[in-house]
Structure 1
Amino acid sequence: MLSSTAVTAKANSTTAHTPDRLHGSLHWDIERAASVALVPLIASQLAFGASPVTDTLLGVVLPLHLHIGFGACITDYFNTRKTPILNKLMTATLYASTAGVLVGCYQFNTNDVGLTEFISRTWTA
């Protein structure tokens, strides 16, 4: 027969993933690099105007930055242990939305005026 302490310990046990310091460190580095890269990108667009290079970089870095941020929100507020189905649904929606935004930025930069020119026209309108 099990003691009450053993039963309590067995009932409260959960399985946890194995910590991986490299994955966490790499994720943090990518997150910071995307955040820091936005500063000179936006500054160069404001200073020099529209450029295909900065439009392309902004069309990649900004959706990546937003994807990481919304992914952190989903992880924080819709935990896999508490709401596994909703977490998977929201994560799939995030990936689909990010892919759509990347395609949209590509289309807008190649077939229209570009992101920088669009923003400058919006501000002056």
Structure 2
Amino acid sequence: MLSTSITRSTPLAQQLRPSFMRSAVPKSARIAAFHATQRQQILPPLPQKIAGTLNEPTLVPDPAPAHGSYHWSFERIVAGGILPLTMAPFAAGSLNPVMDSVLCALLVVHSHIGFESCIIDYFPKQRVPVVRNVAMWALRIGTVTLGLALYSFETNDVGITEAVTRLWHA
């Protein structure tokens, strides 16, 4: 049986603690070591600009079919096409250079679309237009560089599927 008397005003967990743990230290001083420092943000918040007043409606962008369902459908077709092109050379046992080239092209397009979506999501045009333009141009340069590197690897070396096969059997 416990030797402490249980009262309704004090929480049960605090009542069951031994007396040496029940100190008169204020709650603000009883915090974890990692939380003892002042909270600081790593990066300052982005500049915020409110357009209009509270009673004005939100501006709705003009509809563009290329950025709507057609864009989404194209992304799904590219993503769905990568899977059979990745497995077909290994399942069939043939290393066709045309299939390898189509796989490389789809990988480049798929990567570009994915990174472009990240840039659009994380760098809004209205808040940080310069950073977004720099990031988009860096993505374009990186995509062209990757395309040229894969083209060189396909024409002057063994190709993607043969490289993966050699790595798998190494």
Q: Specify the TM-score bucket, using the shorter chain as the normaliser.
A: 0.7 to 0.9
One-letter code of the match for 2:162?
Answer: E
1:54–1:29 distance in 2 versus 1, CA, 3 Å: same
What is the CA–CA distance in structure 2 between the aligned matches of 1:75 and 1:8, rounded to whole Å? 26
Paired residue for 2:28? none
1:22–1:96 distance in 2 versus 1, CA, 3 Å: closer
What is the CA–CA distance in structure 2 between the aligned matches of 1:114 and 1:34, rounded to whole Å? 20
Q: 1:89 aligns with which of 113, 134, 148?
A: 134
Paired residue for 2:81? 37
Paired residue for 1:60? 105
Paired residue for 1:102? 147
What is the CA–CA distance in structure 1 between the aligned matches of 2:66 and 2:151, rounded to whole Å? 32
Q: Tell me which of the two structures has the higher relative contact order, counting C-alpha pairs closer than 8 angstroms and 6 or more residues apart.
A: 1
Indicate yes or no: 2:156 matched with 1:111: yes
Given that 1:49 and 1:116 are in contact with CA atoms closer than 8 Å, whether structure 2 keeps it comes out as: no
Q: Whose Rg is larger?
A: 2
What is the CA–CA distance in structure 2 between the aligned matches of 1:67 and 1:39, rounded to whole Å? 17
One-letter code of the match for 1:66?
Answer: S
Structure number with higher helix proportion = 1
In the alignment of these two chains, the number of paired residues is: 118
One-letter code of the match for 1:101?
Answer: L
What is the CA–CA distance in structure 2 between the aligned matches of 1:40 and 1:101, rounded to whole Å? 22
What residue ranges of structure 2 are gaps of 5+ in the alignment? 1-51
Identity across matched positions, percent: 36
Given the two structures, how large is their TM-score scaled by the length of structure 1?
0.84
Paired residue for 2:114? 69
Paired residue for 1:4? none
What residue ranges of structure 1 are gaps of 5+ in the alignment? 1-6
Given that 1:49 and 1:117 are in contact with CA atoms closer than 8 Å, whether structure 2 keeps it comes out as: no
1:8-23 to structure 2, matched below 5 A, reads 8-9=53-54, 16-23=60-67
Given the two structures, how large is their TM-score scaled by the length of structure 2?
0.63
Paired residue for 1:78? 123
One-letter code of the match for 2:65?
Answer: R
What is the CA–CA distance in structure 2 between the aligned matches of 1:27 and 1:8, rounded to whole Å? 34
What is the CA–CA distance in structure 1 between the aligned matches of 2:84 and 2:157, rounded to whole Å? 23
